[in-house]
Structure 1
Amino acid sequence: MSRPDELPDKSAPQTRTRKGWLSGILQLVLVIGVLAAGVLANNVLSSMSTAPQIRAAGASGVAVSVVQPDIGETRIRLLETGTVQVRNSVELSPQVSGRVVWVNPALASGGTFKRGEVLFRLDGADYRAAIDRAGADLAARQADLQVEQAEADIARREWELVNPGEPVPSNVAREPQLARAEAAVRSAQTALADAERNLSRVNFSLPFDGRVQATAIEVGQNLIAGQSYGRAYEEGGIEVSVPVNAAVLQGLAPAEGREAVVRPRQVLLSEGTVAYAAIVTRADAELDPQTRLARLTLEFTEEVPLLPGDFVDVEITGPVIPGTYRFPESALQENRSVWVVEDGRLARRQPQLVFVEDGVISALPFDTADGIVVGALNDPQEGDPVVSEGDVRADGERP
């Protein structure tokens, strides 16, 4: 029988098998780690090798579109906003005092009236009584004059009987008394005419076709002569006031006589586009000290259904400027400047703009170098290198 220490060891093969399995796993992990490190290193090297290529591409210049301006004449047209206002308004001020006994329905804000149409009537009883008194006084003065004339005739005949052939002295002929009586008659006649005129003034009217702006007259109200109780203006007596800056005023000079078109701001859709012809009649001689603006005044050449206070769009036809440069409005940069390409680099220009219409700018001639850059640029700087991508037309379209 063998001893226990002489028996074969059955666990030894199992131990060797476990060690081999662990060794294989460690080798696999090591291989994966090496591969991952290689991939990471390759990415880092790739990124480092491409960075100079981006810088090199940037150094060649940003692609831009350029335009060569069209050269020709430009007619200036000023597009502004104006306000309709009354040229002259008349105060509703009675010439006599009295209580209002009747008011025309047209005497209301916005109401219209005809020339000579009575707008309100005052109580005329006191004025009719004044006419009666003036008439009676006139009759008395005329009677006094007749008495003086009769006495003067008697005095002259008596003088001629006593002093035949001699001239009658003025005091004997009662000439002073006659003159006083005649003056009294004329005064009475004037008083009667005044009373009759005052009676006619109880009917208030105006000598033109017009429109009421405002009124504070009601039946039963006592009005005082000379005080204002409202305003009215003549039909067709409206104009348009347009504020403009000094540069625009100089560009239109002379502004007087320039033709214009006035369009109401709010028009019913059924009416379509409405426009009225007007003429610039005057321009302010100085700028407003607060706004630094001057005002152009336009008068309509026809009757228009506009009201004071209406806002309108105004288009004034200005002079023709020859030799202007026309290019797309999309070329305009901040501060009304433009970029041009000069020897492959950006250069800033500050042209003097004269007109903008339908996306096209007109400017006085300036150095456009190799062309005007169209469109927005990303943080452009003076002297940045650029590459012209292609030309566009002055209206912004490609040929």
Structure 2
Amino acid sequence: MPDVFSASSTDNRRPHKIRHIAVWLTAVLALLLIAALLVLQAPLPATQTPASMAPSVPVISVVAQDITIPVHSQGHVRMAREFYLSSQVQGQVQYVSEHFINGQQVQQGELLLSIDAAPYELEVRQHQANLDSRLLQLEEIRAQAEVARQQASENDFARYIPHLRMANSQVAAARAALQYAQQQLSDTRIYAAVSGRIARATIQPGQQVSPAMVLGVIYDDNWQEIRLPVSDHEAQLLGIRPGTENPSLAVTLTTAGGTKIPAQITGSEAGRDAFQQIILLARPLYSADITPLLPGTFVEAEILSPVITGISRIPRSALQAGNHLLMVDQQHQLHDVNAKLLYAGKDQLYLRNEFSTPVLLVNSSRHALLPGSQIIPVNTGSREQLATAAGE
């Protein structure tokens, strides 16, 4: 009986186990089928050609030319001449011009100050009266001398010769005294000796002044100058030689506000400054529409050298480490060239390399490039320059 029950239970569990296995097999097959479908429906990888390994590098076309080299300097405007206003007489100031103020413009011959003239007018009248008296006395002695001459006297005293000599001397002295008094009267009126700007004016009406007292200063704008320091090498470029006449050089002054004023080099100082530089003296050339600069104004100066032949000009970015250049040939391959530096300007470099025909130079020092490397030139100039320099 127990055996029969055991066999019956085993027969009942077998179909259940078979169904369980079938479910698992179905699930595995379904997963495999889904995986196969995903693989079959995946997009094919795009086929791309490898990009060129040559870097794109900016280049510039350069050719030797006959050019002027700008030398830059800077300085402050100062007065080369100052005209001092002083009193030649003593007295009280009665009149002060409205233009006699620091910074005001005055014209040559303009009345600036007047001093009380009454005492000097009295002096003139007194000396005029004295002169008239001496002239009258001279006429009387001349009349007496004429009578004595007609009497044919041989005695000088009898002919009034000493009397005439003394009378003439007294007249000359009286006339000189009158002229001096007239000059003092004229000196009570003080005029502008030149056209310019008033500085250091401190006189007010009613103030007492004395001879040789400085009343103010006139800055003559026609006598301004700027001290421009340059190195020995820059002076050589400009053609300035000690002991020789300075060449005619074009100079442009630029103020902080951007105003440009032409100038000329008038000479150089005999000595050097504290930095052992040569000091050039430049004079501004003002036109009618340009207001003269105030003393102390800071200006930058650009001085153009005489024309120099066979000079190549490049931007600073084209100079590689160690003063070298990278030249690009027609196959866009790089070649190392030694830079023969003549002058390093503010923005440009000037070379002695005589590139008689246009050449392409790498215009960047940021790329790690070696001679022999292949590049793709990207022109920073015109297409025509690039085509000409590349020989295309």
Partner of 2:104: 111
Corresponding residue for residue 323 of structure 1: 310
Are residues 347 and 235 of structure 1, via their aligned partners in 2, closer, same or farther at CA, if it must alter by over 3 Å? closer
Aligned-partner residue type, residue 143 of structure 1: L
Deviation of the 1:123 alpha carbon: 1.2
The 8 Å contact of residues 360 and 395 in structure 1, kept in 2 or not, is answered as no
Q: What is the CA deviation profile of residues 145-173 of structure 1, one whole-angstrom value per residue up to 9, with x for unaligned ones?
A: 2332343344334x43xxxxxx6332221
Residues 9-88 of structure 1 aligned to structure 2 (within 5 Å)? 69-88=62-81
Fraction of identical pairs, as percent: 24
| Consecutive unaligned residues in structure 2, runs of 5 or more | 1-54, 241-245, 328-332, 387-392
1:230/1:349 CA distance change after superposition, 3 Å: farther
| Residue equivalent to 2:85 | 92
CA contact (8 A) 1:65 1:392 kept: yes
Residue 286 of structure 1: how far off its partner (Å): 4.0
Give the 3-state SS of the residue equivalent to 1:236 in structure 2: helix
Within 2, Cα distance between the matches of 1:396 and 1:338? 24
Give the 5 Å matches for 1:265-284: 265-266=256-257, 274-284=259-269
Among 213, 226, 230, which residue is 1:227 paired with?
213
Return the offset for 1:394.
7.6
Contact 2:229 2:277 in 1 (8 A): no
Asked if structure 1 preserves the Cα contact closer than 8 Å seen for 2:265 and 2:280, the reply is: no
CA displacement, residues 262-309 of structure 1 (integer Å, 9 cap, x when unaligned):
232125xxxxxx433333232335423555232231330524312222
- Deviation of the 1:353 alpha carbon: 3.5
Matched with 1:19 is: none
Instruction: Answer yes or no: is 1:354 the counterpart of 2:316.
Output: no
What TM-score do you get using the length of structure 2 for normalisation? Answer: 0.68
Counterpart of 1:193, as a letter, is Q
For 1:291 and 1:219, the matched residues in 2 are separated by 50
Partner SS for 2:64: strand
User: What secondary structure sits across from 1:152 in the alignment?
Assistant: helix
Between the aligned partners of 1:356 and 1:288, the Cα distance in structure 2 is 22
Other-structure match for 2:44: none
Matched residue, 1:374: 364
Q: Name the CA distance, whole Å, in 2 between partners of 1:291 and 1:217.
A: 43
Task: Give the aligned residue type for 1:375.
Answer: S
**Structure 1 contact 277–302 (Cα < 8 Å) conserved:** no
Q: Which runs of 5+ in 1 are unaligned?
A: 1-61, 161-166, 268-273
RMSD: 3.7
Rate the CA distance shift 1:228–1:256 in 2: closer, same or farther, 3 A: farther
TM-score normalized by structure 1?
A: 0.67
Distance 1:130 1:139, change over 3 A: same
Q: Cα offset for 1:83?
A: 2.4
Q: Which residue of 2 aligns with 1:363?
A: 351
Shift of 1:102: 1.4
- Partners of 1:156 and 1:73 lie apart in 2 by 91
Distance 2:363 2:372 in 1: 10
* Residues 1:292 and 2:277 aligned together: yes
- The C-alpha deviation readout for 1:92-144, integer Å capped at 9, x for no partner, is 11222222121111111111122211101111122112112212221232233
How many residues of Structure 1 are paired with residues of Structure 2 in the alignment?
317
**Is contact 2:238-2:306 (8 Å) kept?**
yes
State the distance in 1 between where 2:315 and 2:250 align: 28
| Whole-angstrom CA distance in 1 between matches of 2:209 and 2:119 | 14
Shift of 1:211: 1.6
